Amino acid sequence: MSSELMDALVVLEKEKGISREVLIEAIEAALVSAYKRNFNQAQNVRVDMNLETGTMRVFARKEVVDEVFDSRLEISLDEARSINPSYEPGDMVELEVTPKEFGRIAAQTAKQVVTQRVREAERGIIYSEFVDREDDIMTGIVQRQDPRFIYVSLGKIEALLPQSEQMSNETYKPHDRIKVYLTKVEKTTKGPQIFVSRTHPGLLKRLFEIEVPEIYDGTVEIKSVAREAGDRSKISVATDYDDIDPVGACVGPKGSRVQAIVDELKGEKIDIVEWSSDPVEFVANALSPSKVLDVIVDDEDKATTVIVPDYQLSLAIGKRGQNARLAAKLTGWKIDIKSETDARESGIYPREEVLDFEEEELDESFDLVDEEIE
C-alpha cells in the first residue's frame, strides 16, 4: 500500500495544488474516525503513518493517574511504570492498539472522509484565489440561468449574477462571453460563493483601466463615476500633467477607446468630463453636453443653481431628468437647473456681485486712463 499511497499523494499535490502535509493530516483524521467507528472505541487515540514503509499504527493515549476511573482514558501509575519507570502522574502514555484488519477497514472507511477533506482544501484554495479579486473585472462564460441568477463560469467556479445586477438592455445566452465585476466573495458550507455584477460603476472604471493606458499607469486618474447601467454613464477624469488632455486620452484616436467600452456595454452612452476642484467648473462640465451660463454655489447646503440658455434647458435636464441626476451623482453636489429667462425674472441672473466686480474694473480702468492723460 505504501507505493500506491505515495503515488496518490504526489498526483494530488501536483494536479490539485494541495500540499502533502494537508493530505496526510486528512488521512490521519480519517483513520482515527475509522478506528472509533469500526471497533466501537471512544478512547483518545492517535494514528501514526509511516510514509516510507506504508504502515499505519494506532496508539491509545492514556493519562497516568493514582486511581483509575476510566480505563479507556487513564492508566494506573504502577502499570505505567512497568512500561517506563520514569512516568509520573499527569504524564501521557501511548499504547499501540492497532487491530489486525485495520488496514483494509481503514482504507474503505477513510475514502469518503479523505475525499471530503481534499474537496475542502480545494475550496480553500479557490476562495484564497478569488477573495483577492474582489472589486476586479473578469471574463466569464454564461452557463445557464434561472429566475434569480445567471450562472457565469469563471474557470474553476461558477459565479452568480443576480437579476438586480443584470443590464436591462442586454440578454444573456449560454456560451456568451461577458466581462463581470466581482462584488463579493463569501465562504459557505458548500464552498466559496462569488457574486458578480454588470451594473456596478466599478465595472465601467475597470473597463477604462483596460482600454486607456494613461489610466492604467496613473497618468490620468478617474475621480468619480455615475452610472445608470445600460442607458447612460458619466465619468470624471483629471491629470497633473499640463501636456496631457485627460478627456482626449479616454476618448482615444477617432473615439476608438471609448467605443470599445460602449460596445462591451451594449451601446451604453458614456460622457467623459474633466474633473475640477472648483465646483462651478466641475458642475458645468458634468452637465455636458449642455452649455452653462452660470453656476451659483451654496457651500453650506452643498447645492448649486445652474443657469442655462432657454433652448438648452431640456438638454441640461435630460430625458426623465437623467442628465441632471447623473451630474449630481458625479459631482456630489445638488443641482437645480433654471432657464435664463426664469433666472432673470427671479433676479438671480446676472448676479449683482458680478456686475459690481465689472463696474469696479471699469472705474479702475478710467482712473488709469486719467493718470496717463495727466
Please return the burial class of 219, using the count of CB atoms within 10 Å of its CB with bins 0-12, 13-18 and 19+: middle
pLDDT band, very low/low/confident/very high, at 166 (cuts 50, 70, 90): very high
Q: Which of 259, 253, 327 is nearest to 289 (CA)?
A: 327
Calculate the CA dihedral of residues 279, 282, 283, 289 and round it to 10 degrees: 170
Instruction: Give the C-alpha distances (Å, rounded to integers) separating 290 from 31, 287, 343.
Output: 74, 6, 17
Is it the case that residue 365 has pLDDT exceeding 60? no
CB 179 within 8 A of CB 138: yes
- Rounded mean pLDDT of the chain? 86
Look up the CATH architecture of domain 276-373: 2-Layer Sandwich (3.30)
Task: Please check the confidence at residue 12 and state whether its pLDDT lies above 50.
Answer: yes
The three three-digit cell numbers of residue 33, written as one number: 474516525
Mean pLDDT value across residues 38-64:
77
Specify the domain boundaries for CATH 2.40.50.140 within the chain. Answer: 133-197
CB 258 within 8 A of CB 251: yes
Q: Give the model's confidence band at 355: pLDDT under 50 very low, under 70 low, under 90 confident, else very high.
A: very low
User: If pLDDT is split at 50, 70 and 90, which confidence band does 190 have?
Assistant: confident
Q: Is the pTM of this model over 0.85?
A: no
Average pLDDT for 350-354: 67
- Mean local confidence (pLDDT), 31-52: 75
pLDDT band at 368 (very low <50, low <70, confident <90, very high): very low
pLDDT at residue number 13: 76
Percent with pLDDT over 90 in the chain: 55
127-142 in b/e form (b: 16+ CB < 10 A) is bebbeeeeeebbebeb
Residue intervals of the chain classified under CATH 3.30.300.20 are 276-373
Q: What's the pLDDT score for residue 372?
A: 43
The count of other CB atoms within 10 Å of the CB of residue 107 is: 18
The number of C-alpha atoms within 13 Å of 1 and in the hemisphere containing its C-beta is 11
Residue 50: band (very low, low, confident or very high) from pLDDT cuts 50, 70, 90: confident
Per-residue pLDDT at 374 exceeds 80:
no
Where are the domain boundaries for CATH 3.30.1480.10 in the chain? Answer: 1-128
Please state the CATH superfamily assignment of the domain spanning residues 133-197 in this structure: Nucleic acid-binding proteins (2.40.50.140)
Give 1-128's CATH code, choosing from 3.30.1480.10, 3.30.70.20, 3.30.70.100, 3.50.30.60. 3.30.1480.10
- In eight-state DSSP terms, residue 200 is -
User: Average pLDDT in the 19-28 region?
Assistant: 77
Which tens digits make up the pLDDT trace of 75-115?
Answer: 888 888 888 888 889 898 888 888 777 777 666 665 666 67
State the pLDDT at residue 73. 83
Q: Is pLDDT larger for residue 177 or for residue 30?
A: 177
β-bridge mates for residue 64, sequence order: 75
Peptide bond just before 289 cis, omega within 30 deg: yes
Q: Which residue has the higher pLDDT, 363 or 185?
A: 185
**Cα-flanking dihedrals φ and ψ of residue 175, to 5°?**
80, 0
Return the closest-CA partner of residue 25 out of 106, 117, 115: 117
Q: Average pLDDT of 163-186?
A: 94
Closest CA to 262 of 331, 172, 170, 181: 170
- The pLDDT, as a whole number, for residue 110 is 58
Q: Are strands 334-339 and 269-274 parallel, antiparallel or unpaired?
A: unpaired
Summarised one tens digit per residue, pLDDT across range 320-331 is 999 999 999 999
Position 220 pLDDT exceeds 80: yes
